């Protein structure tokens, strides 16, 4: 086989069922091999989905991976093709998403000569990918491809980049059908982690901590989703009757409508979730990393917790931000199942009814709320109406900004891999291409992109990709005429100076843009009285649908915990009840992040 044919055959062997990418000179041999493979294997197709931009391809592969749990694949050309994928690669590393990016490269002999469409991919990607391979020996190409998949999907998942010079793609040699690279260090570390079962003595020690607690709380992060541990989280919480809060990335680890679910905590978490963290005396962190959006002031996070336990697949996360009293490094699902077995074997019983009543009171007294009497369309109302139809069953992707937080706060999610968002990187433009990838991963599911007018502009060209492949994706554009989250900060902390964030003078007609790209349903909603009727019509439309909603431009995201501040300084806004007299809103100091 040629090197290009070897690349494609390994993709097929690895179970890849869709490829996202944009062609170009240095990757043409591989694109031709994909064409021939699909022509000659009608029952084993790997459709090639062509975006408007390589960044879109990267986010489509990431959306596919997030919605399916499988490795997403992106194939692009050299130079600008490769550099356009830097952002989705970094985004996937930050959120632990398994992805393979295959880049064309100038011929081996030309590397370093500043040839046409050459970029130092290894240098660029080495700092933002889980691993990077530059294939200079074509005899190692097949093993490199398999090893890349192994690294991407094992341990803490992440993106792996393979830079393949054009002469390596054109080389001809034997296809062995087996073999990987010798990476003994990685495999040794991985085996140590994977084989690190929770010992009975350790399980007993954890249960002793749980028995001593009166107000235990589970704090779940994205690691529970990535580790396919959502069912184990639910079983653990149900067995021991412990309430659960989740991070932005942990949404879906437990059914948000379940009695034990306390929804999202953190900077824009529900007030009742944050108050539960304030009140708990035993915090159990599962696949979470105490990041700044959750534990803004680590020393004041969970201040009443007499003990903290931390379970993670990555040893570097233990004690990185917050010192803990108990920890276990290993597969989360196995550890939780071991705790359940040990608890049942010991006949563990603990009455947390008083704590449950307290949490129920928190949920009732400090519920999410907004100005329901406003004549303007409130974004929360729109999401509530969509949620009334989807009933927690839809896959929701988002861009980044206020709309992202509103979606996290007001949508229900019955299970994992239904919530797709750029968490750690906070990448605007993520929502639309991620929805496309998710629709290919879950073709029978309803996929909705909740986006903002500023965020969707970043990858607006992917509207055409939706209609080109006739995907029944629903796009909701919550238009507040600007960078809403930035404006909120400017109003709170910069005396209302809207520097570069007000887009009310922009002339973009999004509905006409969607119509021009072939959307059979595209309309603008600007009257509150029409919301219920139009939302029902929109959700039930059978093909691609685009809905622009002109929302209250001053609608804010509340609650809000400023960076570098603790939950007792939470701003709840005018419509969410605070349990203490709100303090004066103070700006973060000069050392704090956005």
Last residue of a domain, one of 190, 218, 251: 190
According to DSSP, the β-strands at 474-479 and 159-165 are unpaired
339 and 399, same domain (yes or no): no
Other C-beta atoms closer than 10 Å to the C-beta of 323 total 11
CATH of the domain at 465: 3.40.50.970
Distances (CA, A) of 4 to 25, 27, 37, 90, 146: 13, 9, 11, 26, 14
Q: What is the CATH number of the domain that holds 224?
A: 3.40.50.1220
CA distance linking residue 463 with residue 46, whole number of Å: 22
According to the model, what pLDDT value does residue 460 have? 98
Mean pLDDT (whole number) for 53-71:
98
Does 515 lie in the same domain as 391?
yes
Instruction: Choose among 3, 1, 2, 589: nearest CA to 297.
Output: 589
Based on the fold, state whether residues 68 and 180 are members of the same structural domain: yes
Q: Count of domains in the chain?
A: 3
Q: How far is CA 318 from CA 196, 322, 399, 593, in A?
A: 15, 8, 30, 23
Task: State whether 434 and 352 are in the same domain.
Answer: no
Task: Kindly tell me if the per-residue pLDDT of 587 is higher than 80.
Answer: no
Residues 557 and 488 sit within 8 Å (Cβ to Cβ): yes
Assess whether 154 and 299 both reside in one domain: no
Mean pLDDT of 26-54: 97
- The answer on 267 and 145 residing in a single domain is no
Q: 330-339, 491-500, 530-539, 545-554: which range is least confident on average?
A: 491-500
Token code pair at residue 248: 């932005």
Task: Please identify every residue annotated as catalytic.
Answer: 54, 116-117, 166, 485
Of 104-108, 440-444, 583-587, give the lowest mean pLDDT range. Answer: 583-587
- Joined tokens for residue 197: 């079962």
pLDDT (tens digit per residue) in 2-35? 999 999 999 999 999 999 999 999 999 999 999 9
Residue 583: the pLDDT is: 61
In this structure, the strands spanning 447-452 and 395-398 are: parallel
- Assigned domain for 247 exists: yes
Sheet holding 521-525, edge to edge: 419-420, 395-398, 447-452, 474-479, 545-550, 521-525
566 part of a folded domain: no
Write down the pLDDT at residue 586.
72
Residue 570 lies in a domain: no
The verdict on 231 and 282 lying in the same domain is: yes
Q: Within this chain, do residues 414 and 289 fall inside the same structural domain, yes or no? A: no
42 within a domain of the structure (yes/no) = yes
Residue 571 lies in a domain: no
| Separation CA 48–CA 19 (nearest Å) | 5
The pTM for the full model equals 0.97
Tokens linked to 367? 């519920």
Q: Are residues 391 and 341 in the same domain?
A: no
Whether residue 164 is found in the same domain as residue 199: no
* Last residue of one domain, picked from the residues 550, 568, 584: 550
Give the CB-side neighbour count of residue 274, counting CA atoms within 13 A: 31
Q: Which residues pair with 264 in a beta bridge?
A: 246
Encoded tokens for 385 = 């109406």
Residue 193 above 90 pLDDT?
A: yes
Instruction: Kindly report the number of other CB atoms within 10 A of residue 241's CB atom.
Output: 16
Q: Which structural domain, as residue segments, surrounds residue 301? A: 195-357
Q: Measuring CA to CA, how many Å separate 281 from each of 215, 217, 228?
A: 5, 8, 28
Q: Indicate the Cα dihedral angle 388, 392, 396, 400, nearest 10°.
A: 80
Give the confidence band of 593 by pLDDT, cuts at 50, 70, 90: low
Backbone dihedral region of 179: left (phi > 0), alpha (psi from -120 to 50 degrees) or beta? left
Does residue 374 belong to any structural domain of this protein? no
Residue 188 — pLDDT band, cuts 50, 70, 90? very high
Q: Is residue 433 part of a domain?
A: yes
Based on the domain organization, do 221 and 338 belong to the same domain?
yes
484 in Cβ contact with 401 (< 8 Å): yes
Q: What is the mean pLDDT of the chain?
A: 97
CA nearest neighbour of 336 among 239, 416, 260:
239
**Listed residues 158, 190, 222: the one ending a domain:** 190
Instruction: Kindly state whether residue 469 falls inside one of the protein's structural domains.
Output: yes
Full DSSP string of 402-453: HHHHHHHHH---SSTT-EE---SS--TT-HHHHHHHHHHHSTTS-EEEEEEH
The residue with tokens 């803004």 is 296
Do 128 and 12 belong to one domain?
A: yes
């Amino acid at each position: 086989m040629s090197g290009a044919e070897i690349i494609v055959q390994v993709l097929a062997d690895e179970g890849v069922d869709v490829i996202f990418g944009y062609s170009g000179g240095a990757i043409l041999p591989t694109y031709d091999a994909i064409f021939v493979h699909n022509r000659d294997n009608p029952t084993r197709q790997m459709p090639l989905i062509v975006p408007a931009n390589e960044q879109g391809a990267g986010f489509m592969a990431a959306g596919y991976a997030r919605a399916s749990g499988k490795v997403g694949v992106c194939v692009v050309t050299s130079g600008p093709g490769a550099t356009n994928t830097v952002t989705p690669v970094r985004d996937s590393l930050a959120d632990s998403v398994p992805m393979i990016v295959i880049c064309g490269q100038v011929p081996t002999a030309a590397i370093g000569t500043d040839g046409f469409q050459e970029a130092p991919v290894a240098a660029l990607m080495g700092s933002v990918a889980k691993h990077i391979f530059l294939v200079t020996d074509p005899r190692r190409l097949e093993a490199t491809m398999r090893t890349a998949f192994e690294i991407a999907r094992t341990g803490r998942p992440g993106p792996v980049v393979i830079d393949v010079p054009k002469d390596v793609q054109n080389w001809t040699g034997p296809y062995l059908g087996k073999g990987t690279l010798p990476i003994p260090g990685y495999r040794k570390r991985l085996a140590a982690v994977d084989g690190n079962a929770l010992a009975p003595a350790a399980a007993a020690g954890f249960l002793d901590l749980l028995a001593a607690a009166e107000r235990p709380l589970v704090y779940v992060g994205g690691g529970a989703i990535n580790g396919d541990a959502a069912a184990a989280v639910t079983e653990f919480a149900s067995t021991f009757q412990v309430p659960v809060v989740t991070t932005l990335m942990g949404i879906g680890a437990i059914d948000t409508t379940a009695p034990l679910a306390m929804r999202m905590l953190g900077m824009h978490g529900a007030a009742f979730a944050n108050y539960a963290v304030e009140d708990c005396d035993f915090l159990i962190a599962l696949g979470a990393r105490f990041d700044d959006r959750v534990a803004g002031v680590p020393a004041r996070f969970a201040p009443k917790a007499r003990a903290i336990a931390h379970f993670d697949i990555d040893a570097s996360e233990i004690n990185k931000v917050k010192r803990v009293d108990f920890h276990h490094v290993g597969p989360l699902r196995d550890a939780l199942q071991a705790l359940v077995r040990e608890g049942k074997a010991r006949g563990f019983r603990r009455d947390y009814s008083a704590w449950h009543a307290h949490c129920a009171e928190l949920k009732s007294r400090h519920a999410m709320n907004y100005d329901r009497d406003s004549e303007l369309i409130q974004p929360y109302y729109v999401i509530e109406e969509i949620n009334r139809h989807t009933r927690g069953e839809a896959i929701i992707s988002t861009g980044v900004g206020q709309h992202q937080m509103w979606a996290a706060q007001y949508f229900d999610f019955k299970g994992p891999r239904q919530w797709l968002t750029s968490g750690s990187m906070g990448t605007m433009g993520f929502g639309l291409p991620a929805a496309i990838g998710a629709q290919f991963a879950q073709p029978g599911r309803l996929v909705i992109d909740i986006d903002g007018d500023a965020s969707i502009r970043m990858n607006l060209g992917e509207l055409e990709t939706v209609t080109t492949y006739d995907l029944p994706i629903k796009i909701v554009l919550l238009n507040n005429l600007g960078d809403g989250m930035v404006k909120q900060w400017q109003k709170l902390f910069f005396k209302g100076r809207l520097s570069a964030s007000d887009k009310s003078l922009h002339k973009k007609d999004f509905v006409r843009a969607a119509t021009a790209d072939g959307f059979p349903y595209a309309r603008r909603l600007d009257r509150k009285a029409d919301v219920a009727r139009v939302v029902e019509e929109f959700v039930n439309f059978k093909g691609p649908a685009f809905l622009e909603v002109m929302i209250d431009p001053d609608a804010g995201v509340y609650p809000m915990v400023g960076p570098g501040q603790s939950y007792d300084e939470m701003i709840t806004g005018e419509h969410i009840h605070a349990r203490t007299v709100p303090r004066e809103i103070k700006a973060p100091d000069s050392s704090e992040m956005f």
